Structure formats: structure tokens, C-alpha cells
Amino acid sequence: MVSVSAPVLLLLGRGKDSASERGVDCPGELPAPSDPGLVERARAAKAALGDRVFVLGHHYQRDEVIQFADVTGDSFKLAREAAARPDAEFIVFCGVHFMAESADILTTDAQRVVLPDLAAGCSMADMAVLEQVQQAWELLTDLGVADRTIPVTYMNSSADIKGFVGRNKGVVCTSSNAKRALDWAFARGEKVLFLPDQHLGRNTAVLEMGLSLDDCVLYDPHKPNGGLTDQQIRDAKMILWRGHCSVHGRFTLECVDAIREQVPGVNVLVHPECRHEVVNSADFVGSTEYIIKMLEQAPAGSAWAVGTELNLVRRLANRHPDKQIMFLDKTVCYCSTMNRIDLPHLVWALEELVAGRVPNQITVDPDTAHHARVALDQMLALP
């Protein structure tokens, strides 16, 4: 049996919580959100920095922020973009903490990665803490199955977890290459420990790899033995970590049924971070980039109910007025931590850089970065 200690929960952005994706307070004087000069100030600061700064914007960012991004993308594309800009002295990452960490790992030592608000964490990434994952691995070792298990972590995890996966001959994946990562892992082992998103792991295993739901077990880090019997762990092909995205986890089968009733012929398009029953009942499933491409290619007049973050769905609806693009849920559903990055924080970060100070720099310690890079490079090399 493995004993489990409960993680300390902190309020968003309050106090130090270095073991958490939520980071720490954002220091300094922020401009007021009502300041009518914010757009001009952001433009002026960017112009003053010129090529020294490169601004990355995740698709779930607010419009007021995304307008200043030099490139937009999902977490995979942004990691590649960061790695492809060795001449930019500063990478300002408009996204969340784990993305900025990956950017720091993939950029040169001379480059500095800045997250405009350190409270922009990710609740899913927080659901897998290194100590808990090490305990789970000890359990697998005691049961004699660790050497036949390949750890696979979703990009949406802390650098610590990526480092653990790199040390244990595993790989990072994103929602656009999860099947390729699992193919790679099952060619090297009999089991996969999939972190931290149970839904992406289950949906990929069952809907794309042909495994059954019975091949998958759910490991709960808050329960002794993960809430499983030794035999369940020995028999499982996929050991899914009990983590989920609080945004995509909100979509339910009822949402899908309701929209199909209201809008006959509607196409339901969802992200694989949604629950299994939602993904199973959708017409199309794919990563953020896939969702964007599907809607670009959709014929005029077609109707779409989209199950992903609301900033992106609203932007896509505005971009394609010839198509009927709706949010899958009845209620508003932003990612609250993505939304922490607003125009005042971006202006503040850029103006600090102009003043010669580097605010909210994200750094990963060299040993963790080395092993996390092994797992990230393995992902980039997937066939």
C-alpha cells in the first residue's frame, strides 16, 4: 500500500505555491483596465522593443490580448514557434504556466520567457504533482510492472512531470498527436501510465487505438493504491491519472442532445479533453488546431456546435459569419486561468521590459529541464 498526502490548496494568485501550476502573485503596479490608452501603450511598448520581443498567444486568450500576438496557436504549435525564434531576447507567453515552462525548456539559455500574470496556471496540470506521480510509480515498481510501463504525459502538465516522464523513458503528447504517442509507447511496453488528463487518455485509447473501456483503469492519487486493487493494476493496459480539464469537463451528453433537438442537422465538434460520452456522441473530435481548420473548411450555411473554450468559439463565430457557429453549452465557459492574462497585464509586462526589467520570468531548473527536454524531443520526433 502507498500512503498519500493531500496537496495544499491555495487561492488563485495568493501566496507562494511553487509546487503548483498556479505560481505566485504578480508584482508591480498594473494599469487600470479602464485606462483608454491601453491599446496605444501596448503598441508603443512593442514598437520600442522591436525584434527583441516575440509575443505568443494561445487560441484561448482574450481578443484584447490576441491582437498583439506575433503568432497564435495551440500549445504544440506555440512550443515549436518558441523554439524557432532564437534571436528574440524575450518571449512573452500569453497562455498558461506549463506552456511558458515548455517554452523556457525549448529556448536557448540567453532567452527569457515572461508570463504576464503568474496566476495563469492550469487546474488540470495541478492535478498531477510530482510526489504523487512518484508514489504511483513506486506502486507499479512494487507490483513488478513498472519496467513494462511507459509513462506518457499530456503537454498540459508541469515541467516536473515532463522531467519524470523523460527520466522514465516516456514521451510528451498533445491532443493532436496522442494516438502517435500511444502507438510509440505500446511498441515499447505493455502498459501506459497516462498523465494527467484521463479524458484524452481514455478517448484516444478507446476511440482511436481499439482498446476497450475495461482495458483502462482510473488511478486516483488521493486514494490508497490509487483506489485500485493490485490485480486491476496488473490487468490494465491504460492506467489513467484522475485529472481533467475543468473547462472541457463541463460539456455533458445533455448539452449534445439539447443542441441536436434545437438545431436539426447541427454538426457537433468537440475537443478530446471532453468526457468520453460527449466525445462518443459528437460528429467530429480534435485538437484546437483541428477545430479551427474544420470550421474554415465547412461549407457556408452549415451549423456547428463547438465544445471547447469560449474565447476561441466566439472568435471563430465572428470570423465565419456565413456559418452558424454556436457554443455547445448553454452557460458561459471561459478558462479562468487563461483569462488572467488581460490587456493591463500585457501592457505592464511589455513596459517593464522597455524599462530594462524582466517581470515574471519563467525558469525551469537545469536538471528538470534536461529530462523534460528528452520527453519533449521524443514527442517532436514521433513518426
Q: Which residues of the chain form contacts with ligand 13P (CB under 6 A)?
A: 74-76, 156, 174-175, 245, 273, 287-288
How far apart, in whole angstroms, are the C-alpha atoms of residue 93 and residue 113? 7
Which letter, b or e, does each residue of 9-25 get, where b requires 16 or more Cβ atoms within 10 Å of its Cβ? Answer: eeeebeeebeebbbbbe
State which of residues 20, 123, 225, 267 lies at the interface with ligand SF4 (CB under 6 A): 123
Cα distances (Å, whole numbers) of residue 40 to 44, 45, 49, 58, 353: 6, 9, 14, 22, 16
- The strand ranges marked E within the chain are 53-58, 71-73, 90-94, 112-114, 149-154, 171-173, 191-195, 216-219, 238-241, 267-270, 284-285, 303-307, 324-327
- CB-wise, 156 or 311, nearer to ligand 13P? 156
Note the maximum CA span of the chain: 63
Residue 364's binding partner out of ligand SF4, ligand 13P, none, with CB under 5 to 8 Å set by partner kind: none
Sheet containing 324-327, strands listed edge to edge, beginning at the edge strand earlier in sequence: 284-285, 267-270, 303-307, 324-327
How far apart, in whole angstroms, are the C-alpha atoms of residue 261 and residue 282? 14
- CB-wise, 174 or 225, nearer to ligand SF4? 174
How far apart, in whole angstroms, are the C-alpha atoms of residue 187 and residue 169? 13
- CB-wise, 74 or 329, nearer to ligand 13P? 74
- CB-wise, 329 or 351, nearer to ligand SF4? 329
**With contact defined as beta carbons under 8 Å apart, do 113 and 100 qualify?**
yes
Question: Looking at 1-9, 40-48, 80-88, 119-127, which segment touches ligand SF4 (CB under 6 A)?
Answer: 119-127
305 sits near ligand SF4 (criterion: CB under 6 A)? no
- Helix H or strand E segment including 101: helix 97-106
- CB-wise, 236 or 292, nearer to ligand SF4? 292
State which of residues 156, 267, 288, 311 lies at the interface with ligand SF4 (CB under 6 A): 156
Q: What sign for the dihedral angle of Cα 240, 379, 312, 283? A: negative
- In the stretch 7-46, what mask flags binding to ligand SF4 with x, by CB under 6 A? ----------------------------------------
* # residues contacting ligand SF4 (CB under 6 A): 13
Residue 246's binding partner out of ligand 13P, ligand SF4, none, with CB under 5 to 8 Å set by partner kind: ligand SF4
- Helix H or strand E segment including 38: helix 38-49
- CB-wise, 153 or 175, nearer to ligand 13P? 175
Residue type, 90: F
72 sits near ligand SF4 (criterion: CB under 6 A)? no
247 sits near ligand SF4 (criterion: CB under 6 A)? yes
Residue 81's binding partner out of ligand SF4, ligand 13P, none, with CB under 5 to 8 Å set by partner kind: none
79 sits near ligand SF4 (criterion: CB under 6 A)? no
- CB-wise, 97 or 237, nearer to ligand SF4? 97
Does residue 149 sit in helix, strand or coil? Answer: strand
Residue type, 13: G
**With contact defined as beta carbons under 8 Å apart, do 244 and 127 qualify?**
yes
Shortest CB 155 distance to ligand 13P, Å? 6
Residue 174's binding partner out of ligand 13P, ligand SF4, none, with CB under 5 to 8 Å set by partner kind: ligand 13P
Cell numbers 498567444 label which residue?
57
246 sits near ligand SF4 (criterion: CB under 6 A)? yes
- CB-wise, 132 or 156, nearer to ligand SF4? 156
Residue 351's binding partner out of ligand 13P, ligand SF4, none, with CB under 5 to 8 Å set by partner kind: none
Binding site for ligand SF4 (CB under 6 A): 60, 96, 122-124, 156, 245-247, 309, 335, 337-338
